[in-house]
Amino acid sequence: MTFRFVEFPSAGDELRSEVLAGLAASPKSIPPKYFYDEIGCRLFEAICLQPEYALTRIEQALMASKLPEIAAAIGTIECIVEPGAGDCSKVRALIDALHPDHLVVLDIAGRTLATAATSLAGNHPGLQVTALGMDFIHALDEAQSYLPPGRRLVYYPGSSIGNFSPVEATALLSRYSQLAGEDGQILIGFDLKKAPDLLHRAYNDAAGVTAAFNLNLLQRLNRELDADFDPGRFRHYAFYNPIEGRIEMHLISLAEQTVSVAGQRFHFHLGETLLTEHSYKFRCDEFVAIAASAGWHLKGEWQQDGFALQLFDQANETVRG
């Protein structure tokens, strides 16, 4: 087995500076990438098993039913690169269909990534696996030297792109051209616009797992930034905003309260929000336009039950299924 794990050091400092900046802003906000400490990763895996949150299951079913067609459209590649790979569960089917020589996985949750990538490497003896524990949103340039030569596919499933505004998504997709390299492609999965009650239920599951995931952010800050949030004095509040085309996830203060974080104090008014996540939903044509403004051209498109996969390259030949 060929496996290497490289952890990039700056993550702790960024958590502190980004959280303090977000709490000092109006409205207060914290970037959603900070959900994913070890407990947050486990809670996210549990969200994906909730009956109301169908996104992950539908994407898996779509990949399973269309994989031969998708693999044929991609063709021969040497390397799959997956930013935000998490527990590495989604990329396995693609590895088996495309037989690349290399896999490069990146995630801010370095420990979860390293454990998952080690087991994946153990199951694929011929595959050279590189796991990079890094904030790929800011440190993508540092990943360049770990990419092997040859034709590469960037795989970005799970509607992770929805956690960026359309402007940010365009910037991210432009930077993914560097990961993909010359003659590179990108396969991207995203949630489609649909009835708001379905979306509302998906982010307000009856078992309260999404609420626990949202509130864990406060507990993480207590653990890692010496904060003194009382999660019982905040309420998970998620809703679909049809004008912006996104789920908004908030933590609403249930009291007038002052909280200390990393030695600084922040006042919350009763009913004030701490914004924790946007999760954009798209129409297929909207996403094609976002990708086009980042220099990507649609090569293939597959859809099922409110979820879409689109394949892009720099050429101009479209396959629809």
Binding site for ligand AVI (CB under 6 A): 47, 158-160, 162-163, 203, 210, 277, 279
Distance in Å, CB of 35 to ligand AVI, minimum: 7
User: From CA 28, how far away is CA 23, in angstroms rounded?
Assistant: 5
H helix intervals, 87-161: 91-98, 110-123, 140-143
**Closer CB to ligand AVI, residue 29 or residue 159?**
159
Distance in Å, CB of 42 to ligand AVI, minimum: 13
Measure the CA angle with vertex 115, ends 110 and 118; round to 5°.
Answer: 115
Question: Which residues, in sequence order, are bridge partners of residue 280?
Answer: 246
**Closer CB to ligand AVI, residue 110 or residue 189?**
189
**Closer CB to ligand AVI, residue 47 or residue 137?**
47
Write 137-145 long-range contacts (CB < 8 A, 24+).
137/33, 137/172, 138/14, 139/8, 139/10, 140/83, 140/175, 140/178, 140/179, 141/178, 142/8, 143/104, 143/106, 143/179, 144/178
**Closer CB to ligand AVI, residue 216 or residue 279?**
279
Tally of CA atoms within 13 A in the half-sphere of 162 that contains its CB = 25
**Number of helices followed by number of strands (H, E) in the chain:** 10, 15
Distance in Å, CB of 295 to ligand AVI, minimum: 23
Distance in Å, CB of 167 to ligand AVI, minimum: 17
Distance of CA 47 to the CA centre of its chain: 14
**Closer CB to ligand AVI, residue 152 or residue 281?**
281
**Closer CB to ligand AVI, residue 203 or residue 234?**
203
Distance in Å, CB of 87 to ligand AVI, minimum: 12
Distance in Å, CB of 36 to ligand AVI, minimum: 9
**Closer CB to ligand AVI, residue 158 or residue 184?**
158
User: From CA 128, how far away is CA 113, in angstroms rounded?
Assistant: 15
Distance in Å, CB of 47 to ligand AVI, minimum: 5
**Closer CB to ligand AVI, residue 203 or residue 296?**
203
- For 261-274, give one letter per residue: b (16+ CB within 10 A) or e: beeeebebeeebbb
Distance in Å, CB of 277 to ligand AVI, minimum: 6
- C-alpha distances (whole Å) from 89 to each of 13, 17, 85, 95, 97 are 29, 31, 8, 11, 14
Residue, CB closest to ligand AVI: 279
